[in-house]
């Protein structure tokens, strides 16, 4: 086809470029609204090679713009897209983005329960979750905050509902105790924290303010995220004695003392020679992990440290309103900040094990796996649960129960 031509474009393209060059020095992508013949796009894009240049116009102008692009190709110059102020679809795009963000944003609550238990019995501690937070199936992890896992022997949870749960501790004395807990529902985090859906009525005011809604979603993401550190430590053993190892968190990650949860990383030794793990002496910089084992074998312990709600400012869109570009960048930044988490339950009969599968493609390396007893029999007939043989696709869950009954095990897998 004959290339469409405008003498005015030919005359002003260089003066306009001279003005744009310093103004766009720190930008990444540009949406050109009303690209017309395409002459400006093919002149500006190669002269500003650090930018992704996106032409746009009404559909009837696309063939001419594409013809210019084919005749003067540039790696950073894209094919034209439809941009019609009379029929913009960005509120719909925002809804789709928000739904995607909501799907990777878990609803989470965590805390510490302090109490004085009754010795040599399974003690129940009721807790309440924030009102309205959970709406569907959730899973909990519970761990003793103690330097004596030989005394604070078994932890668990039962009577779990959307509004609260009973934490469980079997302890051989009645000393003051503390349990760390973490509750998770896999999605709906942004919805809970109240991001603002766009109310599109066709007015120019609504149409011209996509950043308002992205900022609203950003605020919801910030409120729902947590700071998480996690790892696996090998603790040297001394037969029938409590041993420990200090752990240092990622420098500067936590701004206050996090909740720390521990889990056994073992197989047949759970409830037999491997009797318990815990943490104590936690600060914003680190913690001490403890293990109790009746044999001289070393012990692998999973640990996760959690601080609810991040405080720093997240990425906010700015510059030219390249909506596809800023939607994509927002989603990528949010995904990078959100931990990869999978949760579930599995029934294990007596002294035995069962295999679990993670969500396909969720983890790119073996995650940390926490296990918790979901039964009021914690510490009586159920003496331990653990995870082992962990890969990026699944794990083996072990349970030690002295009675011939199923034991329901709660599990949480985390990759940061």
153 touches 277 (CB < 8 A):
no
* Strand duo 259-265 + 382-388: pairing: parallel
How far, in Å, CA of 348 to CA of 375, rounded? 12
Residue whose C-alpha is closest to residue 197's, from 221, 213, 219: 213
CB atoms within 10 A of CB 284: 14
- In order, the DSSP letters of 188-229 are -HHHHTT-------S-HHHHT-HHHHHHHHHHHHHHH-EEEE
Residue whose C-alpha is closest to residue 16's, from 160, 339, 39, 91: 39
* Strand duo 226-235 + 274-280: pairing: unpaired
Kindly provide the b/e burial profile for residues 95-133, where b requires at least 16 CB atoms within 10 angstroms of the residue's own CB.
eebbeebbebbbbbbbbebeeebeeeebbbbebebeeeb
pLDDT at residue 381, rounded to an integer: 66
- Determine the number of helices (DSSP H) and then strands (DSSP E) in the chain: 8, 21
Q: Residue 165 region, left (φ>0) first, then alpha (ψ -120 to 50), else beta?
A: beta
pLDDT at residue 320, rounded to an integer: 44
> What's the CATH class of domain 7-82?
alpha beta
Query: What value does the CA radius of gyration of the chain take, rounded to a whole number of Å?
Result: 28
351 touches 378 (CB < 8 A):
no
With a cut of 70, which residues of the chain have pLDDT below it?
A: 84-96, 196-213, 266-274, 309-331, 376-382
Q: Extract the runs of DSSP E, i.e. beta strands, from 266-310.
A: 274-280, 286-293, 299-308
Residues of the chain with CATH 3.40.50.150: 7-82
398 touches 369 (CB < 8 A):
no
* Strand duo 274-280 + 286-293: pairing: antiparallel
pLDDT at residue 102, rounded to an integer: 76
148 touches 242 (CB < 8 A):
yes
Phi and psi at residue 127, to the nearest 5°:
-130, 160
């Amino acid at each position: 086809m004959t290339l469409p031509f405008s003498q005015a474009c030919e005359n002003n393209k260089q003066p306009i470029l001279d003005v744009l060059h310093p103004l766009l020095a720190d930008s990444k992508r540009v949406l050109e609204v009303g690209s017309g013949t395409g002459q400006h796009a093919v002149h500006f894009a190669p002269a500003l090679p650090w930018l992704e240049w996106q032409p746009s116009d009404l559909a009837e102008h696309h063939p001419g713009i594409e013809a210019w692009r084919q005749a003067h190709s540039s790696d950073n110059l894209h094919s034209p897209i439809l941009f019609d102020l009379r029929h913009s679809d960005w509120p719909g795009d925002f809804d789709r983005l928000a739904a995607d963000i909501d799907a990777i944003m878990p609803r989470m609550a965590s805390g510490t329960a302090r109490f004085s238990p009754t010795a040599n019995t399974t003690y129940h501690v009721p807790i309440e979750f924030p009102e309205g937070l959970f709406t569907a199936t959730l899973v909990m992890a519970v761990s003793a905050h103690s330097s004596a896992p030989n005394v604070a022997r078994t932890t668990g949870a039962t009577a779990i509902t959307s509004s609260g749960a009973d934490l469980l501790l079997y302890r051989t004395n009645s000393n003051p105790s503390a349990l760390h807990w973490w509750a998770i529902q896999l999605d709906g985090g942004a919805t809970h924290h109240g991001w603002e859906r766009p109310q599109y009525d066709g007015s120019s005011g609504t149409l011209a303010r996509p950043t308002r809604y992205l900022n609203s979603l950003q605020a919801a993401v910030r409120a729902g995220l947590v700071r998480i550190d996690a790892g696996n430590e090998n603790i040297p053993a001394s037969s029938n004695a409590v041993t420990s190892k200090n752990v240092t968190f990622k420098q500067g990650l936590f701004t206050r003392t996090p909740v720390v949860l521990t889990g056994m990383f073992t197989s047949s030794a759970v409830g037999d020679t491997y009797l318990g793990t815990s943490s104590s002496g936690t600060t914003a910089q680190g913690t001490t992990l403890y293990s109790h084992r009746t044999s001289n074998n070393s012990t692998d312990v999973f640990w996760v440290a959690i601080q609810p709600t991040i405080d720093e400012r997240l990425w906010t869109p700015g510059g030219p309103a390249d909506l596809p570009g800023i939607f994509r960048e927002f989603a990528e930044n949010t995904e990078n900040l959100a931990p990869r988490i999978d949760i579930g339950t599995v029934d294990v009969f007596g002294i035995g094990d069962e295999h679990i599968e993670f969500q396909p493609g969720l983890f790119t390396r073996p995650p940390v796996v926490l296990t918790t007893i979901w039964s009021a029999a914690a510490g009586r007939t159920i003496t331990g649960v653990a995870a082992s043989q962990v890969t990026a696709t699944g794990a083996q869950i072990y349970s030690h129960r002295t009675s011939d009954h199923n034991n329901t095990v709660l599990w949480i897998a985390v990759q940061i």
